[in-house]
Structure 1
Amino acid sequence: MNVLLIGANGQVARHTIAKLKDEDHQVIAMIRDSKQATELKDLGADKTVVADLEGNFDHAFDQADAVIFAAGSGGHTGADKTILIDLWGAMKAVDAATRLGVKRFVMLSSMGTVDPDKSDRIRHYLVAKKLADDYLKQSQLTYTIVRPGSLTNEAAQEKIKLEEEIQVRDNTITREDVAIVLAKVVKRENSFNKTFEILNGSLAIDQALDQI
């Protein structure tokens, strides 16, 4: 399957390139800067396409069978960029996929979007993510929404906790483990039209995904 990875130069997305290759997918890496192309191809991307979420990026969907939206404004930008990238950019990607016939859409979201009012530190970010998630759910696309908790840069543990909403948030999750989940759900029919949270836990990733 040809998978368009939006936000391909992000920290989780860079891991996702290799994990998609492990699942026998072809990776179309969407980037903002052509200077990033060589490094992403070295990571395993089959093709790179330069496009900007703040503009028109319909051309990035050429030959794509599925989309993983892993773009984010980053922790050092203001609420304005969060709205433009995490909310408006995601909504535009949903619209483009719908318009261009790409029916499979995986959204990298965030734990805490069920009720952003419970967080006052990054509430604007969680609100943007929640609205983008809700917009995707209301579309005609076959979606999966993955909501990880706090991210770390440690090596993958390959074991997770997966629930629709995790009540006891006593752990974090590695970016590499999130990438493994993103890559695996693309073809997993039991993940279609589902939303779930993940942390590192005690179940092997495939076993946890089997129980969605």
Structure 2
Amino acid sequence: MRIVIAGGHGRIALRLERLLAARGDEVAGIVRRAEQADDLREAGAEPVVLDLESATVDEVAARLRGADAAVFAAGAGPGSGAARKETVDKAAAVLFADAAVRAGVRRFVVVSAMNADPRHAGDEVFDVYLRAKGEADAYVRSREALDWTILRPGLLTDDAGTGLVRLEAHTGRGPVPRDDVAAVLAELVDTPATAGLTLELISGSAPVSVAVKAVAGN
């Protein structure tokens, strides 16, 4: 498979790139800065330098053409203000979805956030973030040309992954290592039967492959 990841230098994305490359997939990661390219090459991914805050749909579609799947793992980051929640967490996700449709890439996986909701109230930066992620998710769901899956992890940690998770429509709050989020994403990309599902993810007791097969109905 050829898989293109938006936000290719993120902490989840770099882990995902290593997993996909190790299993023999062809991986490309979209990054904003050329100096991030070596980190992607080290992870086994092809770096694609493109700023999703200023790129056009056609420019992004050109990078997606020929891919079997697209993963949106970009984010403005915890230190960013409300404006970039709108331009990255929402607008870049919308752009990436539109570009996938234009490029004919049906399989589309989104890294969202637990409690993301377009109707989320409040004016703090985190409120804007949850609203932006919710609006982006709603837009992706509206694109009938996409076989989308939306993953909403709990509290992200840098603890070593255990390979044991709880993956359900509603899990409730809880932590989950980024290692395990990446492992679940790798399984989801390869499991089209999860299309149309919005899933929450926290640490649990089920091996990753078992958890994904369970939600896919296999």
Deviations 1:165-197 (A, max 9, x none): 123x2x300011001111111121321111100
Partner of 1:55: 54
Choose from 83, 88, 102 the match for 1:85: 88
In 1, Cα distance between equivalents of 2:86 and 2:65: 26
Shift of 1:118: 9.2
- Structure 2 counterpart of 1:53, which letter? L
* CA deviation string 1:35-85 (max 9, x = no partner): 11122111111x211101112242321432210000000011111001000
- Describe the shift of the 1:118–1:207 C-alpha distance in structure 2 as closer, same or farther (beyond 3 A): farther
More RCO (CA 8 Å, sep 6+): 1
Amino acid at match of 2:81: G
1:113 to 112, 116, 120: 116
Alpha-carbon distance in structure 2 between the residues aligned to 1:89 and 1:52? 9
Give the TM-score, by structure 1 length. 0.93
Q: How far is the alpha carbon of 1:21 from its aligned partner? A: 2.1
- Deviates most, 96-105 or 110-119: 110-119
Q: Residues of 2 paired with 1:197 and 1:119: CA distance?
A: 25
The aligned residue for residue 19 of structure 1 is 19
Please say which of residues 186-195 and 139-148 is displaced more in the overlay.
Answer: 186-195
Structure 2 match to 1:206: 209
> What CA distance in whole angstroms lies between the structure 2 residues aligned with 1:65 and 1:34?
25
- Contact 1:23/1:184 (8 A) holds in 2: no
Q: 1:147 aligned to 2:146?
A: no
Separation of aligned partners in 1, 2:124 and 2:38:
39
Deviations, residues 147-170 of structure 1 (Å, cap 9, x unaligned)? 001100011110001110123x2x
TM normalised by structure 2 equals 0.90
| Gaps in structure 2 of 5+ consecutive residues | none
1:106 match: secondary structure: strand
Q: Is the 8 A contact 1:67 1:102 kept in 2?
A: yes
* Cross-structure match for 1:123: 127
Gaps of 5+ in 1: none
Letter of the 2:183 counterpart: I
Take 2:31 and 2:125, find their aligned partners in 1: how far apart are those partners?
A: 29
Give 1:22 shift: 3.7
Secondary structure at the residue paired with 2:165?
strand
Alpha carbons 2:108, 2:146 under 8 Å: kept: yes
Q: Is the 8 A contact 2:21 2:43 kept in 1?
A: no
Counterpart of 1:26 in structure 2: which amino acid?
Answer: E
The corresponding residue for 2:35 is 35
Identity %: 34
Two-structure CA RMSD over aligned residues (Å): 1.7
Distance 1:194 1:100 in 2: 22
- The answer (yes or no) to whether the contact 1:152–1:174 under 8 Å persists in 2 is yes
Report deviation, 1:99: 1.1
Written as runs of structure 1 = structure 2, the 5 A alignment for 1:188-199 is 188-199=191-202
